Chain A
Amino acid sequence: MKKRILAVFLAAAMVLSLAACGTKGDDGGSGESGASTNENELTVWCWDPAFNIYAMQEAEKVYQKDHPDFKLNIVETPWNDVQTKLTTAATSNDLKSLPDILLMQDNAFQKNVISYPDAFASLADSGIDFTQFPEAKTAYSVVDKVNYGVPFDNGTVVAAYRTDILKEAGFTVEDFTDITWDEYIEKGKVVLEKTGKPLLSCQAGEAQLVMMMLQSAGASLFDDEGQPDMVGNKALEKVLETYKALKDSGVLIEVNDWDQYVGSMTAGTVAGTVNGCWILASIQSAEDQSGNWAVANMPRLVGVDGATNYSNNGGSSWAITSNCKNLDLAYDFMKSTFAGSVELYETILPKSGALATYIPAGESEVYAEPQEFFGGQPVYKAVTEYSKKVPGNNTGVYYYEGQDAISTALQNVVNGADIAEEIKTAQETTEFAMN
């Protein structure tokens, strides 16, 4: 008897799970077409409910004021899934599963547009004024002088510091503004000695800090033709040297993953960080540290032409796919919201910290409001100021190949390998991947 009951349960569980699979399949497929067929509706893929999904919802409300019938269908899709689905759709020549609009990481933009030129709609005739965005930002989504993306969030690099820890070591945040990496290391050593805390943490094996340093001097791993430009690249050599010096001095500690990285800040084991300004959202999750943080620009490289205190890391842009049936609606929606509505950016900033790359929005008063968490500093205004000074650089189609090769080189350099030798290997690896 017992066995029979058990068998019934098992069978029921199997039927249920099958049914669950079935519905899931329906959701994922949503028929044959991912894009909206209704002429007043657009389908969007983006990934963060607190950030870009929220921004899209607000954009919908803004647009609905003049177009009451308009509707957005926002599908939460993590970036890795967006990339996989895009790859699958494009390689199977079946673009029907794509949405009208999708959010794309800036660093993947070139690769995707060049690999699948048929998947994206050109924005050349959209009437969007791209001069309203910083050039360094739009450059990510321009292929052959044609715009394919509407810039969204800002990845301008900030250096954030714990003012209470700096004070213990006898410094203020002014001592860390407009400085060089050499000064950063010198002062960092003092902080380490007096408080036992390193100035920043990094994920081991991630070349993000290196990429930020490179761009701060307008340099890149690739030349203008997109060929690897690593051997003899003075900026790159200096960057690797600087990273090693940071690590050797103990001013920088390496952790193994993202959670540990965020943890090192929220738990207060480090006195600051250097990253894209989106990191401010993670910093603010440690409410007990309110009032103890301040923001400055990042240190600049020493002895490199064109070195600045400004750079960029991450960020994303909206792309319109060629599967969109209502191109005019999509153009107009983008033009009236993300590329034309200061009001939209004023709404989304306080709640999500979504910093605009739309230049007119930066002049809004909302951006100039002092932030309590950062000791009354108007950080969003400061970041908007920084973003105007970021030098542009060419990320190239083979961005991820180059970055991985450099991160391999970086790990070997940190362990004592010869810089020139490692750069040569990295260049060979990248050239091989491109061949």
Chain B
Amino acid sequence: MSSRTNAGSPGGGASKGGKMTLSRKQNLSGWAFLAPAALLIVLTSFYPMFRAFILSFQRGKGNALQWGGLYNYTRMFKDAIFLQSVKNCFFYLIIQVPIMLVLALVLASLLNNKDLRLKGLFRTAIFLPCATSLVSYATIFRSLFAVDGLVNVLLVKFGILETGYNFLNHAFSAKIVIILALIWRWTGYNMVFYLSGLQNIEYSVYEAAKIDGASPWQSFWKITVPLLKPTILLTAIMSTNGTLQLFDESVNLTGGGPANATITMSHYIYNTSFKYVPNFGYAAAMSFLILILVAILAFVQMKVGDKRD
């Protein structure tokens, strides 16, 4: 009521008053619906980010902080453990993400087959790892790959190994175990995105290709992949982001060891804040480096993936 009287009162744009009121009303209710969520995001996400950014320019132990300028940002490039953790994260990224995405794509197009029976069962089975808690799956993988764990027992039984191999105590094999765990945990998650993307591709396109004599291999590469490009881009960016922020696997599966061979950036950031003498400024600065890395990689991927010009 009040808004109508307002609009009716003499003032700006009185001649088109009726229309303005309606759009204004809609605008207002739009803002009203947005405001609580937006406010919460600003308060709980953007404000802490801003404070963390300021914190990243301070140095000192615990509470005794003083202005340090760019000290933290230069310090991290001399920090052997941090550089090692960056290297580890990129190792996971370069090896694991492509394998996982290709696997998810292949599984998705297999499970998209109209004639396949028990489709729901297979889809659920592959998606299910995603529903497990990060900590518990990491713990299970650790016991699977223990010296007397299931994997070693099987390898010895089939005569591949003579005695159990301590997978988690050797730098290279520990990294591989983490990659295997990540593939197991996240392939189904990405597959679901591809499956939903595939619903938008007309089945007749495949039929037409078949009539033209295309092999399944060809229709996969010439039809599925190009038409799914936006989804592939999305999953690639999400996986990159996730891998650079990897934490649970490093902490629970390998403890960052042996000799920091599997430690991730987030794990090291956690250590500098809570395990060691707290150095929050430095931890905040390292977190911002992750942000910058993710932003750069996402930008590159978008440039490469987007050919619309």
Chain A residues near B62: list those with CB within 8 A: 87, 90-91, 115-116
A408 and B260 contact, Cβ closer than 8 Å, known pairs A84-B274, A398-B276, A401-B276: yes
Q: Which stretch in B77-85, B187-195, B203-211 binds the other chain?
A: B77-85
Chain B CB within 10 A, most for which of A118, A204, A425: A204
Q: Establish whether residues A432 and B78, one from each chain, have CB atoms under 8 Å apart when the complex forms.
A: yes
Chain A CB within 10 A, most for which of B142, B166, B258, B277: B277
A204, B80: Cα distance in complex, Å: 22
Is A314 on the interface with B (CB-CB < 8 A)? no
Chain A residues near B255: list those with CB within 8 A: 205
Residue of B nearest to A110 (CB): B277
Q: Mark B240-284, 1 if CB is under 8 A from A, else 0.
A: 000000000000000101111000000000010111111010000
Is A23 on the interface with B (CB-CB < 8 A)? no
Is B287 on the interface with A (CB-CB < 8 A)? no
Chain B residues near A401: list those with CB within 8 A: 276-277
Chain A residues near B276: list those with CB within 8 A: 111, 398, 400-401, 404, 433
Residue of B nearest to A253 (CB): B147
Within 8 A of B (CB), among A401-429: 401, 404, 407-409, 411-412, 425, 428-429
A254, B80: Cα distance in complex, Å: 26
A401, B80: Cα distance in complex, Å: 13
Q: Mark B139-155, 1 if CB is under 8 A from A, else 0.
A: 00010001100000000
A205 and B257 contact, Cβ closer than 8 Å, known pairs A429-B80, A429-B81: yes
Q: Establish whether residues B78 and A204, one from each chain, have CB atoms under 8 Å apart when the complex forms.
A: no
Chain A residues near B260: list those with CB within 8 A: 408
Q: Establish whether residues A432 and B79, one from each chain, have CB atoms under 8 Å apart when the complex forms.
A: yes
Q: Establish whether residues B63 and A254, one from each chain, have CB atoms under 8 Å apart when the complex forms.
A: no
Q: Establish whether residues A256 and B147, one from each chain, have CB atoms under 8 Å apart when the complex forms.
A: yes
Residue of A nearest to B167 (CB): A256
Chain A residues near B78: list those with CB within 8 A: 432
A409, B259: Cα distance in complex, Å: 7
Is B24 on the interface with A (CB-CB < 8 A)? no
Is A20 on the interface with B (CB-CB < 8 A)? no
Residue of B nearest to A398 (CB): B277
A432, B277: Cα distance in complex, Å: 13
Chain A residues near B142: list those with CB within 8 A: 256-257
A115 and B278 contact, Cβ closer than 8 Å, known pairs A411-B257, A429-B80: yes
Q: Mark B156-191, 1 if CB is under 8 A from A, else 0.
A: 000000000010110000000000000000000000
Q: Establish whether residues B277 and A254, one from each chain, have CB atoms under 8 Å apart when the complex forms.
A: no
Residue of B nearest to A92 (CB): B63
Q: Establish whether residues A254 and B169, one from each chain, have CB atoms under 8 Å apart when the complex forms.
A: yes
Closest CB in chain B relative to A401 CB, distance in Å: 5
Chain A CB within 10 A, most for which of B61, B79, B258, B260: B258
Closest CB in chain A relative to B145 CB, distance in Å: 8
Closest CB in chain B relative to A1 CB, distance in Å: 23
Q: Mark B46-67, 1 if CB is under 8 A from A, else 0.
A: 0000000000000001111000
Is A93 on the interface with B (CB-CB < 8 A)? yes
Total A-B Cβ pairs within 8 A: 79
Q: Establish whether residues A256 and B169, one from each chain, have CB atoms under 8 Å apart when the complex forms.
A: yes
Chain A residues near B61: list those with CB within 8 A: 114-115
Chain A residues near B168: list those with CB within 8 A: 204, 256
Closest CB in chain B relative to A251 CB, distance in Å: 17
Is A239 on the interface with B (CB-CB < 8 A)? no
Chain B residues near A115: list those with CB within 8 A: 61-64, 277-278
A254 and B81 contact, Cβ closer than 8 Å, known pairs A87-B273, A90-B63: no
Q: Establish whether residues B257 and A204, one from each chain, have CB atoms under 8 Å apart when the complex forms.
A: yes
A411, B261: Cα distance in complex, Å: 11
Contact of B63 among A93, A256, A429 (CB under 8 A): A93
Q: Establish whether residues B258 and A205, one from each chain, have CB atoms under 8 Å apart when the complex forms.
A: yes
A204, B171: Cα distance in complex, Å: 13
Q: Establish whether residues A412 and B166, one from each chain, have CB atoms under 8 Å apart when the complex forms.
A: no
Is A169 on the interface with B (CB-CB < 8 A)? no
A287, B274: Cα distance in complex, Å: 38
Q: Establish whether residues A204 and B275, one from each chain, have CB atoms under 8 Å apart when the complex forms.
A: no
Is A347 on the interface with B (CB-CB < 8 A)? no
Chain A residues near B273: list those with CB within 8 A: 87
Chain A residues near B79: list those with CB within 8 A: 432
Is A210 on the interface with B (CB-CB < 8 A)? no
A204 and B277 contact, Cβ closer than 8 Å, known pairs A90-B62, A257-B142: no
A204 and B169 contact, Cβ closer than 8 Å, known pairs A83-B274, A411-B257: yes
Within 8 A of A (CB), among B105-151: 142, 146-147
A254, B257: Cα distance in complex, Å: 13
Is A260 on the interface with B (CB-CB < 8 A)? yes
Q: Establish whether residues B166 and A256, one from each chain, have CB atoms under 8 Å apart when the complex forms.
A: yes
Residue of B nearest to A116 (CB): B62
Closest CB in chain A relative to B51 CB, distance in Å: 11
A260, B277: Cα distance in complex, Å: 30
Is A255 on the interface with B (CB-CB < 8 A)? yes
Chain B residues near A205: list those with CB within 8 A: 169, 255, 257-259
A433, B277: Cα distance in complex, Å: 9
Is A397 on the interface with B (CB-CB < 8 A)? yes
A114, B257: Cα distance in complex, Å: 29
Chain A residues near B259: list those with CB within 8 A: 205, 407-409, 411-412
Contact of B277 among A91, A111, A428 (CB under 8 A): A111
Residue of A nearest to B63 (CB): A91
Within 8 A of A (CB), among B67-90: 78-81
Q: Establish whether residues A116 and B63, one from each chain, have CB atoms under 8 Å apart when the complex forms.
A: yes
Q: Establish whether residues A400 and B275, one from each chain, have CB atoms under 8 Å apart when the complex forms.
A: yes
A116, B274: Cα distance in complex, Å: 13
Q: Establish whether residues B258 and A204, one from each chain, have CB atoms under 8 Å apart when the complex forms.
A: yes
A428, B165: Cα distance in complex, Å: 32
Q: Establish whether residues A204 and B278, one from each chain, have CB atoms under 8 Å apart when the complex forms.
A: no
Chain A residues near B258: list those with CB within 8 A: 204-205, 411
A425, B80: Cα distance in complex, Å: 10
Closest CB in chain B relative to A404 CB, distance in Å: 8
Within 8 A of B (CB), among A177-228: 204-205
Residues in B lying within 8 Å of A, measured CB to CB: 61-64, 78-81, 142, 146-147, 166, 168-169, 255, 257-260, 271, 273-278, 280
- 8 shortest interchain CB distances as A-B pairs: A115-B62, A205-B257, A411-B259, A408-B259, A411-B258, A204-B169, A401-B276, A256-B168
Please, could you name 9 A-B residue pairs with CB atoms under 8 Å apart, sorted by A? A118-B63, A204-B257, A205-B259, A256-B142, A256-B169, A400-B277, A401-B276, A412-B259, A429-B81
Additional 20 contacts, C-beta under 8 A, given A256-B168, A257-B142, A408-B260: A83-B274, A87-B273, A90-B63, A91-B63, A91-B278, A118-B63, A204-B168, A205-B169, A256-B146, A398-B277, A401-B276, A401-B277, A404-B271, A407-B259, A408-B259, A411-B258, A412-B259, A429-B81, A432-B78, A432-B79
